[in-house]
Amino acid sequence: MAETIAAAYARRNPRSAELAPKFKEFFPSGGAGHDGYTGFPFPLTIARGLGPRKWDVDGNEYIDFHMGSASLLLGHAHPQVVEALVNAAPGGSHYGAPVEAALEWGEKVHDLIPCADKIRFVASGGEATMYAMRVARAHTGKNKIVRWQSHYHGAHDYAMPGNLAPWDVPASAGVPRGAIESVIVLPPDLNALERVLATDNDVAGVITEGSGASYGTVPLPEGFLEGVRKLTRQYGVVMILDEVITGFRWSPGGLQGKFGLEPDVCTLAKILTGGLPGGAVAGREEFMQVMNQTGDAHHDRHQRLQHGGTFNANPYCAATGNAALSIVATGEMQNNADRAADRLRRGMREAVDRYEVEACVYGESSTFHIYFGARSLEGLDANQLKAIPPEIANNFRQALQVRGMDIMSRTSGVTSGTHTDEDIDRALEAFDGAIKAMMDEGLVRHS
Ligand SMILES: Cc1ncc(COP(=O)(O)O)c(C=O)c1O
């Protein structure tokens, strides 16, 4: 009998297996910085990356489609980003004062992202969404934020309600009642939004992942974003577009630049810094002016939005951000990444058809998703599309890993501008083998 997925995974990764209990000694469930860095029976410990590839501590090579949680549109260790970091390093990391590199960085964001009249840098995408919600509340003087079932906006208290099914229970323990009550969770349905906006006079803003939940795992209905724009304008509510994934990836101007959408405020991170820690909240002047200090003591203490953060706009991230945005501005990386993802999706669909498995391959821009359980997305909502059994997701990822390919969350991934045709060919071979292994183990069904 052929070696099982689990046996191949264990055989190839003795060093990762050895490290796992040591991680558990110091970190809850072994995860040093993220729930996603745990795994069953153990996660791979990665040693280095270059371009579209990375290598684990056992020396195994992967064509990578995790790409730093989609932060690496330019691939791992892009030479210009590395050079910027190395050049900035001897100058020190923090002066408690403005740095010129942040000025250049902000100007680039302003020039690329259509709604970015004004920008404030923060330390992560989650911080960006937290501040965007606060901008909406400060601007309107209202309390509530509307969000869509299963859209991901980071891990803070206001992003947890509605992130995981069941939608009325926050995705995490420890979220205070006040935060839960300030968030209205809706299915992606414009009529539902209109009903809320027409009856609840305390809504400050609506936040949306423009790709649909989790970089398009749950696609949005046609015309949805335009509908949100129209209704938010009509009811005087702030439209927040979460571009943490789509920013600079969907196009140099993000999703808003690609589709001519006009959000009031948007959030950016990941590619913004060339894959280092950081983020930004950006928006139209009339909304971002809630951050202005006027010198009027009453205004500045009682009416303005306070913003801080030790590491915001630090010289290292400003340097790598400048390097990255100079590259993404040309659109070449996005074109390469889109082309690679298109080839990958088409090849995966061919394999799914060849083996007649009950699966569906989809995605836009430089993303891909595989849903095991149906041949089409027709009639499937977030409840189904996000509910991939852990046994399927885990075995699928490991079946790919033992064949030299890695993906991101559940059964999805992203390409970078550095993936070549040869990388995609190798990835499709890995996918083909993984599907066969999943069939052998009875993990996927015939359609
Ligand atoms: C759409 C979206 N918003 C916000 C975040 C949170 O960003 P971060 O992980 O940098 O806090 C993410 C992270 O993946 C994201 O995908």
- Distance, CA of 77 to chain centre: 19
CB of residue 247 inside a 6 A radius of ligand 1? no
DSSP string, 2-24: PPPHHHHHHHH-HHHHHHHHHHH
Distance 351 CA to ligand 1 centre (A): 31
Q: Phi/psi zone of residue 214: left (φ > 0), alpha (ψ -120 to 50 degrees), beta?
A: left
CB of residue 388 inside a 6 A radius of ligand 1? no
Sequence-ordered list of residues with C-beta below 8 angstroms from that of 60, at least 6 positions apart, any chain: 12, 13, 44, 401, 404
CB of residue 125 inside a 6 A radius of ligand 1? yes
The per-residue pLDDT for 6 is: 97
The per-residue pLDDT for 182 is: 98
Predicted model pTM: 0.97
CB of residue 152 inside a 6 A radius of ligand 1? yes
CB of residue 209 inside a 6 A radius of ligand 1? yes
Domains and CATH numbers, the chain: 5-76+331-440 (3.90.1150.10), 79-328 (3.40.640.10)
Distance 269 CA to ligand 1 centre (A): 7
pLDDT tens track of the chain, all 447 residues?
689 999 999 999 999 999 999 999 999 999 999 999 998 999 999 999 999 999 999 999 999 999 999 999 999 999 999 999 999 999 999 999 999 999 999 999 999 999 999 999 999 999 999 999 999 999 999 999 999 999 999 999 999 999 999 999 999 999 999 999 999 999 999 999 999 999 999 999 999 999 999 999 999 999 999 999 999 999 999 999 999 999 999 999 999 999 999 999 999 999 999 999 999 999 999 999 999 999 999 999 999 999 999 999 999 999 999 999 999 999 999 999 999 999 999 999 999 999 999 999 999 999 999 999 899 999 898 989 988 899 999 999 999 999 999 999 789 999 999 999 999 999 999 999 999 999 999 999 877
Which residue lies with its CA nearest to atom 10 of ligand 1?
Answer: 125
- Distance, CA of 8 to chain centre: 30
Which residue lies with its CA nearest to atom 8 of ligand 1?
Answer: 125
Strands (E), 336-402: 359-362, 367-372
Distance 135 CA to ligand 1 centre (A): 18
The per-residue pLDDT for 1 is: 66
- 147: phi then psi, degrees, rounded to nearest 5: -140, 165
CB of residue 423 inside a 6 A radius of ligand 1? no
The per-residue pLDDT for 388 is: 87
The per-residue pLDDT for 446 is: 79
Which residue lies with its CA nearest to atom 13 of ligand 1?
Answer: 154
Q: How many CB atoms lie within 10 A of CB 439?
A: 15
Distance 126 CA to ligand 1 centre (A): 6
Tokens of 293: 């200090």
CB of residue 71 inside a 6 A radius of ligand 1? no
Distance 284 CA to ligand 1 centre (A): 21
Distance 170 CA to ligand 1 centre (A): 17
Secondary structure letter of residue 27 according to DSSP: S
CB of residue 364 inside a 6 A radius of ligand 1? no
Distance 155 CA to ligand 1 centre (A): 8
What single-letter amino acid sits at 200?
D
Distance 37 CA to ligand 1 centre (A): 16
Name the residue of 163, 211, 244, 366 to mutate for ligand 1: max ligand atoms within 8 A of Cβ: 244
Distance 242 CA to ligand 1 centre (A): 9
Which residue lies with its CA nearest to atom 16 of ligand 1?
Answer: 245
